[in-house]
Amino acid sequence: MTHPDLFGGLLGPSLQALDLYALLGIVTALLLGGMVKGVVSIGVPLVAMPILSFFLPLKQAVLLLSMPIVLGNIPQALEGGDMLPTVRRIAAPLVGTVLGNLVGVTALISLSPHRAQAAAGAVLMFAAFLLLAAPKLTLSPSVARPAGFALGFGAAVMESIASVPGPLLAMYLIASGATGKGFTKQIAIILVVSIITLIIAFSGGAHASWTDLAISGAASIPVVIGILLARPLRDRLSPAMFRRLVLLFVVAAAAQMIWKSGLP
């Protein structure tokens, strides 16, 4: 007896093929990502991606995480008004992210599964080391624009391959003088534009559908639950120590992804 294909696109068929334990593993990955974000504000993809790679191909995992990132950043992007001046201020990284996603999605689609997994593991490890080292740079006005384009492009490639654009973007914005609410608003706008470009790039190549977006939107639910569950823990834990432990976990998980890929 055949079962009707209730889902189209990329995510539906992949999820239909999984057993209950794998589906619970995916929900757990999203829940843990939300809990970590609730304590130390580290991006959900950095924690969830290594776990999701056990259950889903990289393309599907990147797509699954797209809507939680968009929905989590839209309120911060809109907060405080001044949208047009802020967009002008970050025009260089915005252009870089659009082009970087087009290149990154093309690369992800063309890579064989084991090479994609190795690339994602390397990107995750690089992102974790960046956050552990927290390099402090200062950009003069003369180099801020080209640096913004280059780092925006690199962040979008990291987004396309492993869903982790944040570290490079944060490094650039801090180096260009963004602080406090201004920093939060600027990085949120860039992330929203980056993810929307990523979704369009997937859809344009007939690799994503409206059903995929609905499934990805539903993936936001365990993320939000995780954030709410972990919020009371923020005052009981040392955020700095917890952050280091999480990043060390990410490094170990990324190394495992590279080893699992089987590349020499």
Helices (H), the chain: 11-16, 20-40, 44-52, 58-64, 66-78, 83-89, 91-110, 113-133, 141-162, 166-175, 180-204, 210-218, 220-230, 239-261
Please check whether residue 156 lies inside any domain of the structure: yes
Report yes or no: 192 and 71 within 8 Å, Cβ to Cβ.
no
Please check whether residue 6 lies inside any domain of the structure: no
- Residues 124-139 have a mean pLDDT of 79
Tell me what pLDDT residue 119 has: 85
Please check whether residue 197 lies inside any domain of the structure: yes
The per-residue pLDDT for range 143-152, each reduced to its tens digit, is 888 999 999 9
How far apart CA 5 and CA 89 sit, in angstroms, is 46
Please check whether residue 209 lies inside any domain of the structure: yes
pTM as predicted:
0.79
Total domain count for the chain?
Answer: 1
* Average pLDDT taken over every residue of the chain: 83
Of 124, 112, 84, the closest CA to residue 261 belongs to 112
| Structural domain of 71 | 11-261
The per-residue pLDDT for range 209-250, each reduced to its tens digit, is 888 889 999 999 999 999 888 878 766 777 677 777 777 877
Secondary structure class of 4 (helix, strand, coil): coil
Eight-class DSSP state of 54: T
Please check whether residue 50 lies inside any domain of the structure: yes
Please check whether residue 223 lies inside any domain of the structure: yes
Please check whether residue 30 lies inside any domain of the structure: yes
Please check whether residue 100 lies inside any domain of the structure: yes
